[in-house]
Amino acid sequence: MKNASAYYEHSCVTCNARMHSVFSVIQGDHLSELNLHKSCTTYKKGQLIFSENGLPMGLFCVNSGKIKLSTTGPDGKEQILRLVKGGDILGYRALLSSDRYHCSAVALEDCSVCIVDKQYFLKLALEQKELCVAIFKKISEDLKHAEQHIVSLSQKNVRERMAEAILFFKATYGFDADGQTLAIQLSREEIADFVGTSTESAIRLLSEFNGDKIIELVGKKIKIVNIAKLEKTANLLY
């Protein structure tokens, strides 16, 4: 894979993704100031954006593309912890707690990402109350999701978790134009690393869901054909 990241120009003032991000509350002069403290980069599919144990140099703002956040377990197995899309911020936890990254971020498809200077972001977060509130909300949501994930891993079987995962992929990335096919393509291994199961079990479950007419497997893509049954299979609480 050709993996050279490329610099490109993109203004915060006109940025579309910003409007869906924590920075949507920033206006006027602060916005052009923000623009002066960031640079833009593109990443090719598969490329590493930052790495477990690394020190954060800035805050990543995803302009477009999909990114996985994952960490390596004690036996070297990957665990996918979060999935990120345009409008999301990335690497904020390590930044806000003066910690190293505990996840790696890898592009799931070609991405464009801005990097906001660390000091400037921290200053802005403390000065702009609306931004501060937005960050509180963002991190609180991530904590809530993580704790819901804990409950699922702890109390649901693999079949339920797989159904839940498919619904989560849908909630996060939505559908292709057909309104049925998931707009994200993950390998079976990646799905297993999110669900918390073996690759073979993940493959088997997807194949079963296919047989049960809950989903259809179109190449590597997943089409949801019976969402009611999928929700029932997921044994949802929330």
Binding site for a copy of itself (CB under 8 A): 71-75, 77, 79, 81, 93-94, 96-99, 102-103, 125-126, 129, 132-133, 135-137, 139-144, 146-151, 153-156, 160, 196, 235-237
Site for DNA in 181-210 (CB under 7 A): 187-189, 196-201, 203-204, 206-207
Question: In the complex, what is the shortest distance from the CB of residue 188 to a copy of itself, in angstroms, rounded to a whole number?
Answer: 16
| Rg of the Cα atoms in the chain | 19
Q: Is 219 in the site for DNA (CB under 7 A)?
A: yes
Rounded to whole angstroms, how far apart are CA atoms 68 and 47?
11
Token reading at 223 = 């089409």
Instruction: Specify the stretch interacting with DNA by CB under 7 A; choose among 108-116, 144-152, 213-221, 222-230.
Output: 213-221
Which partner, a copy of itself, DNA, none, binds residue 33 by CB below 5 to 8 Å per kind?
A: none
Site residues (CB under 7 A) for DNA, limited to 130-149: none
Measured between alpha carbons, how far is 209 from 62 in angstroms, rounded to an integer? 33
Q: How far is the CB of 154 from a copy of itself (least distance, A)?
A: 3
Q: DSSP for the chain, please give it.
A: -----EEE---TTT-TGGGGSGGGG--HHHHHHHHHTEEEEEE-TT-EEE-TTPPP-EEEEEEES-EEEEEE-TTS-EEEEEEE-TT-EESHHHHHTT---SSEEEESS-EEEEEEEHHHHHHHHHH-HHHHHHHHHHHHHHHHHHHHHHHHHHHS-HHHHHHHHHHHHHHHH-B-TTSSBBS----HHHHHHHHTS-HHHHHHHHHHHHHTTSEEEETTEEEES-HHHHHHHHT---
Nearer to a copy of itself, 117 or 160 (CB): 160
Length of the chain: 238
Q: What is the Cα–Cα distance from 8 to 23, expressed in whole angstroms? A: 20
Q: Which one of residues 19, 76, 98, 220 is an interface residue with DNA (CB under 7 A)?
A: 220
Q: Does 79 bind DNA (CB under 7 A)?
A: no
Binding mask 150-169 for DNA (x = CB under 7 A): -------xxx----------
In whole angstroms, the minimum distance from the beta carbon of 143 to a copy of itself comes to: 5
217 binds, among DNA, a copy of itself, none (CB under 5 to 8 A by kind): DNA
Q: Which is nearer to a copy of itself, 99 or 212 (CB)?
A: 99
Q: Work out what residue 220 binds among DNA, a copy of itself, none; the CB cut-off runs from 5 to 8 Å by kind.
A: DNA
| Cβ-proximal residues to 137 (8 Å cutoff; 6+ apart), any chain | none
Is there binding between residue 218 and DNA (CB under 7 A)? Answer: no
Catalog residues that contact DNA under the rule CB under 7 A.
1, 157-159, 187-189, 196-201, 203-204, 206-207, 217, 219-220
